Amino acid sequence: MTHQDEIVQALIESLHDDNHMVRSAAVRALGRTHHANSSVTPALLEALRDKGGLVYDFALHALGDMNDSAAIPTLMTMLQDPDADIRRAAATLLGKQRHSEAVPLLIKLLNDEVLAVGHAAAEALGELGDKQAIPALIEILASPHTDWAMCINVAQALGKLGDSQAAPTLINVFRRRWDVVPGMNTTPPVRKHVMEALVKLGDGAVPYLLTALTDADVKVRHGAVETLGHLAGESEAVN
């Protein structure tokens, strides 16, 4: 056993320390040594179940940086774990892995009972870029029961997917009136993210935006003008 192996083994053992600060430090250290030993990824995956301090967050960050494909089978299983934090982590990491086989399970997680899991699933679907997710994302966005944070995540995902069939729903979401969020003292920035998504749709969004110029709501007309201006600017930059 090399000195490097001894260090890795000692750090893995430190993941069971009584003090969460020691366990957090061990996770961060393992994230820097992952090339040296194949036992690191399984240890960090197990650390995702640690509720102490920042262990979970550091493990999620380290696994995201490593992007080790050896983690995929375990992550696929974790998508159906009873623990919501584990489901959320698995969704996030599979999005980073660009593992397309996860798409059907991620689509199911859009309706997870825990909002944070649904948010992570939407973000992952945007990262994966698989267009089979578009109908499910549009359905979520169109629902009047979808919370504002989820609307933002779904709009961002649809923008990354870049399919114009999302444009009518995005514009309808722009029309909605959003209440002031407690603690923020302002309305949520849904419209900003919808505009950004429409810009990413490119030319496919133009017919819908031109129609929105005659909308009865001045905010919709204003948003359509702003978005068309961004599209025109991008078109000139390309030409």
Note whether 59 and 134 are same-domain residues.
no
Q: Which domain holds residue 45?
A: 1-66
Residue 138 pLDDT: 98
Nearest C-alpha neighbor of 60 from the set 101, 106, 28: 28
Q: What is the pLDDT of residues 131-159, one digit of tens each?
A: 999 999 999 999 999 999 999 999 999 99
Note whether 222 and 149 are same-domain residues.
yes
Note whether 62 and 133 are same-domain residues.
no
For residue 181, list its beta bridge partners.
186
Q: What is the pLDDT of residues 10-56, one digit of tens each?
A: 999 999 999 999 999 999 999 888 555 688 999 999 999 999 889 99
pTM of the model: 0.89
Note whether 136 and 239 are same-domain residues.
yes
Residue 239 pLDDT: 42
Distance, in Å, from the CA atom of 61 to the CA atom of 134, rounded to the nearest integer, reads 28
CATH of the domain at 46: 1.25.10
Residue 155 pLDDT: 97
Q: What percent of the chain has pLDDT over 70?
A: 95
Does the pLDDT at position 238 exceed 80? no
Instruction: Identify the domain boundary among 16, 47, 66.
Output: 66
First to last CA, the chain: 60
Distance, in Å, from the CA atom of 151 to the CA atom of 238, rounded to the nearest integer, reads 30
Does the pLDDT at position 161 exceed 90? yes
Q: What percent of the chain has pLDDT over 90?
A: 79
Give domain status of residue 71, yes or no. Answer: no
Does the pLDDT at position 121 exceed 90? yes
Q: Which long-range contacts (CB under 8 A, 24 or more apart) does 147-152 make?
A: 147/115, 148/178, 148/181, 148/188, 148/190, 149/115, 149/119, 149/188, 150/115, 150/118, 150/119, 150/122, 151/190, 151/193, 151/194, 152/188, 152/189, 152/190, 152/193
Note whether 227 and 139 are same-domain residues.
yes
Give domain status of residue 165, yes or no. Answer: yes
Note whether 150 and 234 are same-domain residues.
yes
Q: Give φ, ψ of 87 to 5 degrees.
A: -60, -45
Query: Helix 167-175 vs helix 218-238: angle between axes, to the nearest 10 degrees?
Result: 140
The count of structural domains within the chain is 2
Per-residue tokens: 91: 């969704």
Average pLDDT over residues 163-168: 94
CATH of the domain at 168: 1.25.10.10
Note whether 48 and 138 are same-domain residues.
no
Average pLDDT over residues 163-192: 88
